[in-house]
């Protein structure tokens, strides 16, 4: 699952990274890895902490004109999305979420987020991005944001889905 944000204006990269880390800290599924035993049983492990690396790739070097840079920017962003989304996940090591920040102009960035479908569905990616936006806005304004605990967990969803399939 892939999602992204195009961010225009001044960006506080450190606060954006902190906000994304807070999202990871808030959602156990984003800190989960999966393991298989010798007899084939599979289990999940929710890690108490998982530090997410969010590299910044500056794509602003060598731009000649605004028109050329718009075409170049689109191609560079598409290439970054393809690379990030096609990189395989290691379910046993994690993390099962990757993020990369692209600087395409001094006042324009693209945040790319890729999450393995075993821990997140398309609807949940949008919830993650919405929560990230709330947390970043609060961090920039010096406010504290209190997010409610998720009403259900991914494990609840998987259990309900298994029950539905078994009936």
pLDDT tens per residue, range 66-81: 555 677 888 888 888 8
CATH number, domain 2-166: 3.30.559.10
All structural domains of the chain with their residue ranges: 2-166
Yes or no: say if 112 and 84 are a contact pair by the CB < 8 Å rule.
yes
Better-scored residue on pLDDT, 140 or 124: 140
Quick one: tokens of 124? Answer: 């949940």
pLDDT of residue 35: 95
| Residue percentage of the chain with pLDDT more than 90 | 57
pLDDT of residue 70: 75
Residue 32: strand, helix, or coil: strand
Better-scored residue on pLDDT, 56 or 158: 56
Is 70 exceeded by the pLDDT of residue 130? yes
3-state helix, strand, coil in the chain (%, to 5): 45, 20, 35
Quick one: tokens of 166? Answer: 């078994």
Name the pairing type of β-strands 2-8 and 108-115: antiparallel
């Amino acid at each position: 699952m892939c999602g992204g944000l195009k961010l225009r204006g001044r960006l506080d990269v450190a606060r954006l990274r902190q906000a994304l880390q807070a999202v990871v800290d808030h959602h156990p599924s984003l800190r989960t890895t999966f393991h298989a035993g010798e007899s084939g049983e599979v289990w999940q492990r929710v890690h108490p902490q998982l530090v997410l690396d969010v590299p910044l790739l500056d794509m602003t070097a060598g731009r000649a004109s605004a028109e050329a840079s718009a075409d170049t920017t689109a191609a560079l962003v598409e290439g970054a999305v393809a690379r990030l989304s096609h990189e395989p996940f290691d379910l046993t090591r994690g993390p099962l979420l990757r993020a990369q920040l692209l600087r395409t102009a001094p006042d324009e960035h693209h945040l790319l987020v890729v999450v393995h479908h075993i821990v997140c569905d398309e609807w949940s990616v949008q919830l993650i991005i919405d929560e990230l936006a709330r947390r970043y806005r609060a961090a920039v304004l010096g406010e504290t944001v209190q997010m409610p605990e998720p009403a259900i967990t991914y494990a609840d969803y998987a259990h309900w889905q298994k029950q539905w399939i078994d009936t």
